[in-house]
């Protein structure tokens, strides 16, 4: 994953905003996921590349840019593995 990779929410994922938490429903799998804190800030900033998402997180939270970027790499990899996000360029 590079800074230039663009990420977007999978179009089938349904999102419910509970203010301090986002609930993501994947109707293809019938599974729900919860995203809070910096993860919800990143989700709200989709679509975007890692630099854009990192900027959204650091603007919303008092977190070091390098730490935010590494945490986002982990989060995006997990969300991609669950089919909730996908690479904008490869779909």
DSSP string, 30-75: TEEEEEEHHHHHHHHH-SEEHHHHHHHHHHHS---HHHHHHHHHHH
pLDDT score of 70: 96
Give the bridge partners for 23, in sequence order: 16, 34
Q: Is the overall model pTM greater than 0.85, yes or no?
A: yes
CB 68 within 8 A of CB 58: yes
3-class SS of residue 78: helix
| 31-73: pLDDT as tens digits | 999 999 999 999 999 999 999 999 999 999 999 999 999 999 9
Q: What is the CA radius of gyration of the chain?
A: 12
């Amino acid at each position: 994953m590079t800074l230039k990779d663009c990420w977007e929410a999978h179009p089938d994922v349904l999102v419910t905003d509970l203010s301090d938490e986002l609930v993501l429903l994947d109707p293809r799998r019938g599974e729900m996921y919860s995203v809070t804190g910096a993860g919800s800030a990143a989700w709200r900033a989709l679509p975007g590349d890692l630099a854009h998402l990192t900027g959204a997180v650091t603007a919303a939270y008092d977190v070091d840019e390098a730490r935010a970027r590494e945490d986002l790499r982990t989060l995006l990899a997990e969300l991609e593995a669950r089919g909730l996000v996908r690479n904008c360029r490869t779909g």
